[in-house]
Structure 1
């Protein structure tokens, strides 16, 4: 099922909704995190279509999400430049996802400091062979293209890098596409796991560095880097760059490491 089909039931009106395409976007027993975050973002945008550009977000993955949900969005504060919106997904009568979106109008800059260029530039996505996604969830092989962006594999430095893009590259605006793609990669801590076991995103905090990001042919370079892993959790730094090496997202995520 396409991403368009996934978002079709999200009208911007609060209340029950049936995500008929949810089964095609399942990751384990819940909706894939990027897809559920996109549903919450789309709810906010469709409820309040005149919002300024997105600048930041905080997303809590609270409980599993199925096809029968209740959606809600509320403006928490609307200032002269910044509007803060909360959107939620409830499932089976319980809170399943809560998201806090910060939208901000552009103003004349009083500080300018470009993000650093990506270290150890891997080369263009065309320089790498496509990765097989047959062993992953069905939504990956149906909706994503992915290529390696690092030479190393297996155990080692807790960093995972991949080039990725959507198959339907005209289905979403650039910001929505990055929200859907931003939670795609496994945590960098995967490369330090002593044995195989399930993993689960708990939260995701992101800053959008470019309000209207662009890239070539839909390709984005993603990286997950474990800053600390122990006690069954990993603190992950999530980053995304375009094909010119310009950083577009800076984020943090807490991930549960089971097994």
Structure 2
């Protein structure tokens, strides 16, 4: 099922107090649904319940427990506050009576301001010509990557025993969506493996505990066929937890999002 079909399922229930749906096994990641698509659907449910469209500034997601594919779940939304220019909202995903995911979204419309600081960061990765895609290895490569192209240019793939702990490359959907919304970008950004997994020589379970995304505005519109650049580093890792940060750029080289994650690893 294409990501646009999943988002459309949420859109169709916008008038309902609770969104009910399931996700096919093709979006799986081990024993749970891919976290990026989970967060994207929770965000979309929030977005559809706003009184009016607003600009997403940040999304914080806590992955509380596994969300099983092929089983119905519900998305509950609570609009905490809607002010003149800002909105805070909360979404929770519940399956079989247990909360699996919690997302808090912060929206803020543009306002006149004398403060203007332009981001000066950039990357130096050329767009893929002959892409170094993540290989599809049965029972190793997550199923959801059938939907997403990752073209790595820096760092290593998981479980290759590298000494470094950074990753850089490009990403896009294999089948271009009709347009790139914030929900699409949320799903894309989470597709990359944690930076620390490349340091291991054999497979080990790992999961994101919390994930914070900050969205940079304004930025230019992009099409569903555009590549997005991704550069991630490990800030610190010990005691079975890693703290990572990533910058995400559009195909014009402009920063569009900043990602921060706490990853638990069971090696």
The two structures have a TM-score, normalised by structure 1, of 0.90
| Alpha-carbon contact 1:116-1:247 (below 8 Å) kept | no
Q: Report the counterpart of residue 43 of structure 2 in structure 1.
A: 41
Q: Report the counterpart of residue 7 of structure 2 in structure 1.
A: 7
Alignment of 1:163-242 (within 5 A): 163-193=170-200, 195-215=202-222, 217-242=225-250
Residues 16/251 of structure 1: CA separation in 2 closer, same or farther (3 Å cut): closer
Structure 2 Cα separation of the partners of residues 133 and 214 of structure 1 = 30
| Alpha-carbon contact 2:85-2:108 (below 8 Å) kept | yes
Residues 27/151 of structure 1: CA separation in 2 closer, same or farther (3 Å cut): closer
What SS is found at the alignment partner of 1:125? Answer: coil
| Alpha-carbon contact 1:53-1:211 (below 8 Å) kept | no
Q: Report the counterpart of residue 88 of structure 2 in structure 1.
A: 84
The structural deviation recorded for 1:194 is 5.5
| Alpha-carbon contact 1:174-1:212 (below 8 Å) kept | no
Q: Report the counterpart of residue 138 of structure 1 in structure 2.
A: 143
| Matched residues, number | 255
Structure 2 Cα separation of the partners of residues 64 and 49 of structure 1 = 31
Structure 1 Cα separation of the partners of residues 48 and 111 of structure 2 = 24
Q: Deviations over 1:170-210 (max 9, x none)?
A: 34433122101111111111233364312101111111012
Residues 213/181 of structure 1: CA separation in 2 closer, same or farther (3 Å cut): farther
Gaps of at least 5 residues in structure 2 are none
Structure 1 Cα separation of the partners of residues 252 and 5 of structure 2 = 31
Moved over 6 A (4+): none
Structure 1 Cα separation of the partners of residues 113 and 19 of structure 2 = 42
The two structures have a TM-score, normalised by structure 2, of 0.87
Residues 24/93 of structure 1: CA separation in 2 closer, same or farther (3 Å cut): same
Among residues 93, 98, 105, which one is paired with 1:101 in the alignment? 105
What SS is found at the alignment partner of 1:243? Answer: coil
Structure 1 Cα separation of the partners of residues 57 and 19 of structure 2 = 28
| Alpha-carbon contact 1:221-1:241 (below 8 Å) kept | yes
What SS is found at the alignment partner of 2:191? Answer: coil
Q: Report the counterpart of residue 20 of structure 2 in structure 1.
A: 17
